[in-house]
Amino acid sequence: MRNLRFALKQEGHSRRDMFEILTRYAFPLAHSLPLFAFLNEEKFNVDGWTVYDPVEEYRRQGLPNHHWRITFINKCYELCDTYPALLVVPYRASDDDLRRVATFRSRNRIPVLSWIHPENKTVIVRCSQPLVGMSGKRNKDDEKYLDVIRETNRQISKLTIYDARPSVNAVANKATGGGYESDDAYHNAELFFLDIHNIHVMRESLKKVKDIVYPNVEESHWLSSLESTHWLEHIKLVLTGAIQVADKVSSGKSSVLVHCSDGWDRTAQLTSLAMLMLDSFYRSIEGFEILIQKEWISFGHKFASRIGHGDKNHTDADRSPIFLQFIDCVWQMSKQFPTAFEFNERLLIMILDHLYSCRFGTFLFNCESARERQKVTERTVSLWSLINSSKETFKNPFYTKEINRVLYPVASMRHLELWVNYYIRWNPRIKQQQPNPVEQRYMELLALRDEYIKRLEELQLANSAKLSDPPTSPSSPSQMMPHVQTHF
């Protein structure tokens, strides 16, 4: 968080020209210019667009199986224009069933599988709110569909539904045609509200954080100022909700359905964090990239609206730091479990920097269908190309791979802290922290290893050349005879 200022000599007449040029390229969409990602021609030795293959990722999870199938009903984005082309749905639900269910879910975002437990086969399913409205409408197809999801796991009798919203907000949404799953309609489901506030509350909270960290940090009232932002309280609520989802799936052996209003903000936070806690694969560098690509980018988090890429309308009510909040939660987890993640803090900061930079195409546009129309994978470079070309920079030297370990972070205010290296790194009055000596030594050892590998390759090359040289032929047969010394 920082403000950039440019100083120009008074006698010059270039200030207005400079201002117009900066405005033009800072907000290209307002001037009918392309985003920089479409002009960036960087070359990397790794193609980041190949990192995520949905079929391969679902196959890694053991899908399809006799309970779940892969469908291409949304191949042309006709069922739901903000969902990916490939979806995993209950085997017993036909494509016609899916079309009927879509009419009763906000934005047609039907319940689909995000993750399946490798042992107990419970699942995390995501969707949007049901369109109940003030009259309390019901939809037999939707009720039956949720029952089919419940029956894929016969270990318990009820499907657990986590509504990310405060209950008051969920009730209020009935006035605009939304709502939640009532006990009367969904007899075989349990509903819990997680009290996570909406995008507008989160936006105002981050503004308050910015005010206390830049340009001045008021030492005498620091703790009370931080508390007044409520930022860590929101982090706590998001983490608490994700822990409940993960625990219900792992320990409670219950399948879980997660939604908020439209299923692309708080829902993505909860499903991705729960999957990060449950599945150690997502705690690797490649796995974390796949998690973001799948749960956020593919499933339609509105990056263009929430970030405002290339748009000068700073007062846009759609802007909100939802993805930043997710990354902050990941950082909090990495602090509590320093050996559980293959990646370090640098990777998280790099992702956030390029969330805003428009240097890469990874976070552009609101959904997969929009990216397809704009040919993003053909016309831009992926952020994962940059990261995977220099993986060593982003590796955690303390990482220990533990395949079956489930992480349960402590979501208590006593254990949460402001991410100083991100939020306050540009404050000119705060001295930048020296690199972690262990990490610095790790990087030195990596450089030393590379040097030894290079020398070894040179020696092997030289030895191969020596061995390939033909031996010198002897000039006479006697030269081939060994010299024998006798005493007579």
Within its chain, how far is the Cα of 31 from the centroid? 31
Q: 260 among the known binding-site residues?
A: yes
Given the DSSP bridges, would you call strands 256-259 and 159-163 parallel, antiparallel or unpaired?
A: parallel
- Contacts of residue 97, Cβ cutoff 8 Å, sequence gap at least 6: 141, 144, 145
- Helical spans, DSSP H, in 76-139: 95-102
Structural tokens at position 368: 């997969």
The secondary structure of 250-311 as a DSSP string is HTS---EEEE-SSSSSHHHHHHHHHHHHH-GGGGSHHHHHHHIIIIIIITT--HHHHH-TT-
Residue of 80, 260, 329, 367 marked catalytic: 260
- Contacts of residue 163, Cβ cutoff 8 Å, sequence gap at least 6: 129, 170, 180, 181, 191, 192, 193, 194, 259, 260
Q: 74 among the known binding-site residues?
A: no
Q: 199 among the known binding-site residues?
A: yes
Q: What does the DSSP 8-state code read for residue 358? A: -
Q: What does the DSSP 8-state code read for residue 175? A: G
Q: 346 among the known binding-site residues?
A: no
Q: Which residues of 237-273 are buried (b: 16+ CB within 10 A; e: fewer)?
A: bbbebbbbbbbbbbebebbbbbbbbbbbbbbbbbbbb
Q: 290 among the known binding-site residues?
A: no
Structural tokens at position 305: 């609206």
386 closest CA partner among 364, 354, 433: 354
Given the DSSP bridges, would you call strands 123-126 and 112-116 parallel, antiparallel or unpaired?
A: antiparallel
What are the backbone angles phi and psi of residue 112, rounded to the nearest 5°? -135, 155
Measured CA to CA, the distance from residue 109 to residue 127 in angstroms comes to 5
Q: 263 among the known binding-site residues?
A: yes
Given the DSSP bridges, would you call strands 123-126 and 256-259 parallel, antiparallel or unpaired?
A: parallel
Q: 220 among the known binding-site residues?
A: no
Contact (Cβ atoms closer than 8 angstroms) between residue 337 and residue 409? yes
Give catalytic status of residue 260 as yes or no: yes
Place of tokens 């405060």: 166
> How long, in residues, is the chain?
488
Measured CA to CA, the distance from residue 25 to residue 4 in angstroms comes to 15
Place of tokens 């318990």: 156
Catalytic residue numbers read 260
Q: Which residue numbers belong to the known binding site?
A: 198-199, 260-266
Q: Which residue numbers belong to the known binding site for substrate?
A: 198-199, 260-266
